[in-house]
């Protein structure tokens, strides 16, 4: 394998799933493992399980010891000190010194970064944003996060948590968001919010939706029902895409990027999401910005946050590769 002697371990801590892999400097993953997060177990149990997954991934990869560990997680967090401050989608995770814990577990340097910021770097180095000087990434998953590459540099912000695109307000006075404000994009277009809105709509409807037959409605169910012409699901989905388009249009007008990339579980809906979103943004953005931008799905797919965390780990040990 390419540069196997400098392979790193990447750990992604999501609100729904944990994903780990060994990654080589060509951006390829080895020993990939995914398990449910099971947030109710709390940080101690989940971290122990995460680290065990990492050990198993190293064995499965068969590349020998790793040189560093990269960790991605939703914020707020302090990347400089390696501490998870209070991730919105991980209740009870307050001031968790995850980098210190990882370095003690694996005996190599570790680095922490916001998951969407890491994903932006991964896409810039290995994915759809290669060659783009200015690129924006939105992860549309359990929550909505963001990351930015500006003039080929990873943007972190003054306090290290810049790029919280999920907390752009799209409907003032609207639904309560986990951040405490009302009307954030995340409160409407994240996977968990789509599911909550669907269940509320079903409760208020007179029936007739195929979603009513499901014991538990998830965001992917809404997308599938909308694709099949279900009226309630279609209305909900169109509203979701419209609100997402408002936020992306504002970002395009603000940053004038070469590319906006969307990843995360909700984007598995593919063309059902990206095509109307792209059309709305290109219609509504300022003409120079609209002409300059491409709007695409993540080139790295479900591996994007893991590969992004690995890219940061390579930079940590001076093995960064501008592939």
d(C-alpha 247, C-alpha 218), whole Å: 23
**Residue with more model confidence, 226 or 159:** 226
Instruction: Please check whether residues 169 and 260 belong to one and the same domain.
Output: yes
Among 151, 165, 145, 180, smallest CA distance to 265 is for 145
Instruction: Please check whether residues 166 and 257 belong to one and the same domain.
Output: yes
Tens of pLDDT, residues 249-277: 999 999 999 999 999 999 999 999 999 99
Peptide bond into 240 cis (omega under 30): no
Ranking 1-15, 146-160, 165-179 by mean pLDDT, the lowest is: 1-15
Instruction: Please check whether residues 206 and 182 belong to one and the same domain.
Output: yes
Instruction: Please check whether residues 114 and 141 belong to one and the same domain.
Output: no
- Domain housing 88: 4-120+302-316
Domains: count for the chain = 2
Tens of pLDDT, residues 268-310: 999 999 999 999 999 999 999 999 999 999 999 889 999 999 9
Q: Is the residue at 101 inside a domain?
A: yes
Residue 65: CATH number of its domain = 3.30.420.40
Instruction: Please check whether residues 20 and 151 belong to one and the same domain.
Output: no
What's this model's pTM, rounded to 2 decimal places? Answer: 0.88
Instruction: Please check whether residues 204 and 228 belong to one and the same domain.
Output: yes
The residues with which 169 forms a beta bridge, in sequence order, are: 184
pLDDT for res 157: 85
Instruction: Please check whether residues 34 and 17 belong to one and the same domain.
Output: yes
The mean pLDDT value for 130-136 works out to 96
Q: Is the residue at 125 inside a domain?
A: no
């Amino acid at each position: 394998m390419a540069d196997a002697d400098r392979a790193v371990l990447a750990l992604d801590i999501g609100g729904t799933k944990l994903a780990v892999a060994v990654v080589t400097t060509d951006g390829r993953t080895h020993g990939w493992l995914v398990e449910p997060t099971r947030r109710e177990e709390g940080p101690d149990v989940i971290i122990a399980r995460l680290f065990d997954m990492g050990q198993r991934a190293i064995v499965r990869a068969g590349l020998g010891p790793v040189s560093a560990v990269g960790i991605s997680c939703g914020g707020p967090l302090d990347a400089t000190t390696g501490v998870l401050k209070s991730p919105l989608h991980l209740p009870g995770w307050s001031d968790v010194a995850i980098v210190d814990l990882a370095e003690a577990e694996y005996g190599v340097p570790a680095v922490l970064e916001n998951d969407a910021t890491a994903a932006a770097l991964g896409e810039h180095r290995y994915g759809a944003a290669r060659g783009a000087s200015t690129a924006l990434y939105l992860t549309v998953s359990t929550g909505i996060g963001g990351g930015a590459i500006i003039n080929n540099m990873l943007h972190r912000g003054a306090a290290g948590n810049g790029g919280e695109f999920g907390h752009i307000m799209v409907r003032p006075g609207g639904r309560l968001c986990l951040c405490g404000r009302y009307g954030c994009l995340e409160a409407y277009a994240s996977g968990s919010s789509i599911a909550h809105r669907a269940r509320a709509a079903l409760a208020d409807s007179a029936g007739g939706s195929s979603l009513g037959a499901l014991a538990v409605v998830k965001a992917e169910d809404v997308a599938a029902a909308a694709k099949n012409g279900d009226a309630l699901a279609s209305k909900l989905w169109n509203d979701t895409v419209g609100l997402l388009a408002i936020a992306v249009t504002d970002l395009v007008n603000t940053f004038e990027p070469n590319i906006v990339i969307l990843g995360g579980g909700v984007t598995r809906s593919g063309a059902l999401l990206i095509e109307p979103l792209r059309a709305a943004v290109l219609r509504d953005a300022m003409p120079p910005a609209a002409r300059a931008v491409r709007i695409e799905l993540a080139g790295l797919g479900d591996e994007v946050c893991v590969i992004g965390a690995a890219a940061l780990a390579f930079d940590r040990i001076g093995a960064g590769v501008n592939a």
